[in-house]
Amino acid sequence: GEDVEQSLFLSVREGDSSVINCTYTDSSSTYLYWYKQEPGAGLQLLTYIFSNMDMKQDQRLTVLLNKKDKHLSLRIADTQTGDSAIYFCAESAGGGADGLTFGKGTHLIIQP
């Protein structure tokens, strides 16, 4: 079956880089996503990566994919207090939102 694993908490100092890790088991995963959820809010798609890519960068966000190890990471440079949220890793075999499998989410805590 499909499984997406993330650690539940990550604490970083303001201004440092945050690296949130995710592992998945479905070898047919085609698209891998990072969603951000602030308290009491819906999910915001941050970025996604196609399985034939190793890296994708978008401003402060860098996504690294190791397909061999089925490991995905999200690096947030210069972490700010507004980055405090839960970050969900998700995968999809077909690319559609109907096939999304979410991890349990990593709660990013920012220390001043």
From 11, 17, 25, 44, residue interacting with other proteins (rule: CB under 8 A): 44
Residue 82 sits in the site that holds other proteins (CB under 8 A): no
Residue ranges in 21-40 that form contacts with other proteins under rule CB under 8 A: 31, 35, 40
Residue 58 sits in the site that holds other proteins (CB under 8 A): no
Q: For the CA atoms of 57, 63, 64, 69, what is the dihedral angle to 10 degrees? A: -160
Cα dist. 69→28, 38, 39, 63, 73 in Å? 13, 29, 32, 15, 12
From 5, 16, 96, 111, residue interacting with other proteins (rule: CB under 8 A): 96
Give residues in contact with other proteins (CB under 8 A): 31, 35, 40-45, 48, 88, 94-98, 100, 102-105
